[in-house]
Structure 1
Amino acid sequence: MSHAGNILGLPELEVERVDRNDSIEVYARPKRRPSCIHCQHPKVRIKATHERTLKHTRQGNQVMTLHLKTPKYHCPQCGRYFRHRFQGVRPRYRSSDAFRLEVFEAHDGGVTQRKLARTHDMSPATVERWYQGQCRLRLSEMSNRPCPRVLGIDEHFFSRKRGYATTMVDLKNHKVFDVVLGRSELSLRRYLRALPGKENVQVVVMDLSETYRSIVRRYFPNATIVADRFHVIRLVNQHLLKAWQGYDPEGRKHRGLVSLMRRHQWRLTDEQRENLGRYLDDYPVLKALYAAKQQLNRLLLLKSLNRKKAKQLLPRLLSLIEDLAASPLHRLARTLKSWLEPIVGMWRFTKTNGITEGFHNKMEMMSRRAYGFRNFENYRLRVLTHCGWDGIINRV
């Protein structure tokens, strides 16, 4: 019985007896008297004793209930009274910290509140209250986290009533930094003004959104804007497919041809390249646009270039954009010219918003599992608990 306290996870306990029926009833008392918590006097006397009953983990399929004899002490030196304090048990709580953590981890892992209410002999409302309490505890640990140096910004859909939310991700440590309701400068203004450490942000990765670009320029003055490579290449493909619609509407509907037109040329087999070439021979202008698109994508996919190499490639990119300006893809050329500096930034940096999109997928699964969220703060609480910073900083 000397190791019973360690087995229970509550040290300094002496187990008197254990009863097993529908549940496990453990009767225990403190091993020794503590010093006075007020004056640290080593000798105190027991004034009275009462029994605390609390739930403490599950053993197999049975809930363990602890019956703790809790002495009330009197200190002869300072004359003050205090009750015995058990490690892992908070004052006036009817469950141990281990039991609450067990419920939290089970619900966090996907077990429903209704199931936990049956297995742990509690109400679904209590499960939700404990879960939010643990989430807020984790969230409080993130309150003093530094503003990330490499920040990813993107929007995602929250609800039809509340609209969109903005996700900010620490791309260096692969953690969600925060989620804010809204995607306009007006809705984000209050949050961004109070955000500490904005001057420490060095790189912001984003899609080709004018709204987010103006927000970054205003609130992150020291940050370099880098366009997300996926969104830039997708924009090029969209403009090409739209121009294709004007030359051959029927061919544009052919899924096989659409797949070939979208792919990078070096990923086509010899047979696919030959079939696509025969089709493009009938449309010389479309063939020229396709060739320009392939050249442009080759430039856009370059990364980790030094300043000298990027400076050498810049005239090629500008020349290609000028050629597109005199073609049916003139709107694409205007967009690329407007976003030239963030696009060139893709050559210097390897970070993209792929991490952010992955978190959006995880957020959608969380929302589905909860059958949707009405309260945005509850949604934000869960997102930061699942995807937020865990206190570990990647300095590599």
Structure 2
Amino acid sequence: KDESRFAGVTTLGVDEHIWHHVSIKDRGPKELTGMVDLTRDKHGRTHARLLDLVPGRSGTVYKDWLKERGDTFRAHVQVATLDPFRGYKNAIDDQLADATAVLDAFHVVKLATQSVDEVRRRVQQDTLGHRGMKNDPLYKIRTILRSGAENLTLRQQHRLAEAIAADQRHEEVHVAWQCAQRVRDVYHAADPATGRALAEKILASFPSCPIPEIARLGRTLKQWADAFLGYFRTGGANNGGTEAINGLIELHRRIARGFRNRENYRLRMLLIAGGLDQPPPPV
């Protein structure tokens, strides 16, 4: 019940968490919503702390939690990071109207990579009439297509070029991969202004792309345009610390071999992930 641990939070992350995998009514919903303090110190470092775990995964759950924190807490939050889940975004818009919502960079790149996978599978079916098999040209480069161009070895570059050249219809896969590289480039730009300019070009061009999967990616990013561009207004705020806390919780859940009582689970995870500590003093 000690609310003092919520003091000083200027950057707030949110993510879902599964605390059990059995269908037992007494345990309530399997999903929890976790709130994490991602506030940076004066050196720009983030010391992520779990603030709370509440039952359910919905915008209403997050909105109610924010409402319970009071006006002072909400007014202090300047940045709210999240994964692309509309419910959480609606809660931020409703309760943290003055904060900048930021769509997590990892998940944006993941969406782009998934689009390339979808194009590869479709072209595979169109050209060979079956799912990928180990000797099929596109199947052999599936891992390469999930990589950044800057990380490819000369051998991998040659394998990519060889697979694309095997059939002129494979060029569609190559174009989709290049589009995904443009999304990655947004987060590797030399400065925020350059990154934002690249992001705006993506928002303007992807929705009209003749490749349907890339057009859908463009429409998705356009729906999230403000949160997508929020990355460049917040010094690169992201939900990475929230994901790290989630990983820590998962580790200790496995070590404990499961919990039966949700409140005990919540308290244990708050102890493990720093949620019952006071915010560290500026250093």
Which TM class, normalised by the smaller chain length?
0.7 to 0.9
Unmatched 5+ stretches in structure 2: 24-28, 40-46
Q: In the TM superposition, what whole-angstrom CA distance separates every residue of 1:143-180 from its partner, at most 9, and x where no partner exists?
A: 45315111111101012442200111111231111111
Root-mean-square deviation (Å): 2.4
Q: Residue 186 of structure 1 aligns with which residue?
A: 60
Aligned partners of 1:193 and 1:219 also within 8 Å: yes
Aligned partners of 1:260 and 1:268 also within 8 Å: yes
Q: Residue 164 of structure 2 aligns with which residue?
A: 280
Q: In the TM superposition, what whole-angstrom CA distance separates every residue of 1:265-292 from its partner, at most 9, and x where no partner exists?
A: 1110112101101111222222222222
Aligned partners of 1:147 and 1:198 also within 8 Å: no
Q: Residue 365 of structure 1 aligns with which residue?
A: 251
Say yes or no: does 1:227 pair with 2:112: no
Counterpart CA distance in 1 for 2:263 and 2:8 is 21
Higher RCO, 1 or 2 (CA under 8 Å, sep at least 6)?
2
Radius of gyration: which is bigger? 1
Q: Residue 148 of structure 2 aligns with which residue?
A: 264
Unmatched 5+ stretches in structure 1: 1-138
Counterpart CA distance in 1 for 2:120 and 2:259 is 42
State which drifts further: 148-157 or 358-367: 358-367
Residues 150/304 of structure 1: CA separation in 2 closer, same or farther (3 Å cut): farther
Counterpart CA distance in 2 for 1:339 and 1:286 is 25
Residues 190/354 of structure 1: CA separation in 2 closer, same or farther (3 Å cut): closer
Counterpart CA distance in 2 for 1:287 and 1:229 is 23
**Counterpart secondary structure, 1:258:** coil
Aligned partners of 1:303 and 1:346 also within 8 Å: no
Q: Residue 177 of structure 1 aligns with which residue?
A: 51
Deviation at 1:256, TM superposition (A): 4.3
Counterpart CA distance in 2 for 1:320 and 1:155 is 32
Q: If each structure's helix is expressed as a fraction of its own residues, which one has the higher value?
A: 2
Counting aligned pairs with the same residue, the percent is 28
Structure 1 segments (4+ residues) deviating >6 Å: none
Aligned partners of 1:203 and 1:224 also within 8 Å: yes
Q: Residue 186 of structure 2 aligns with which residue?
A: 299
Q: Residue 83 of structure 2 aligns with which residue?
A: 207
Q: Residue 154 of structure 1 aligns with which residue?
A: 15
Residues 288/227 of structure 1: CA separation in 2 closer, same or farther (3 Å cut): same
Aligned partners of 1:321 and 1:337 also within 8 Å: no
Q: Residue 344 of structure 1 aligns with which residue?
A: 229
**Counterpart secondary structure, 1:393:** coil
Say yes or no: does 1:375 pair with 2:261: yes
Q: In the TM superposition, what whole-angstrom CA distance separates every residue of 1:204-234 from its partner, at most 9, and x where no partner exists?
A: 1111111110011111111111011111111
Aligned partners of 1:233 and 1:300 also within 8 Å: no
Counterpart CA distance in 2 for 1:251 and 1:261 is 17
For residues 1-396 of structure 1, what are the structure 2 equivalents within 5 Å?
140=2, 143=4, 145-146=6-7, 148-160=9-21, 161=23, 162-172=29-39, 173-196=47-70, 197-249=73-125, 252-254=132-134, 256-281=140-165, 282=167, 283-302=170-189, 305-306=192-193, 309=194, 312-324=197-209, 326-329=210-213, 330-348=215-233, 349-389=235-275, 390-393=277-280, 395=282
TM-score (normalizing by structure 2): 0.80
Q: If each structure's strand is expressed as a fraction of its own residues, which one has the higher value?
A: 1
TM-score (normalizing by structure 1): 0.59
Q: In the TM superposition, what whole-angstrom CA distance separates every residue of 1:90-111 from its partner, at most 9, and x where no partner exists?
A: xxxxxxxxxxxxxxxxxxxxxx
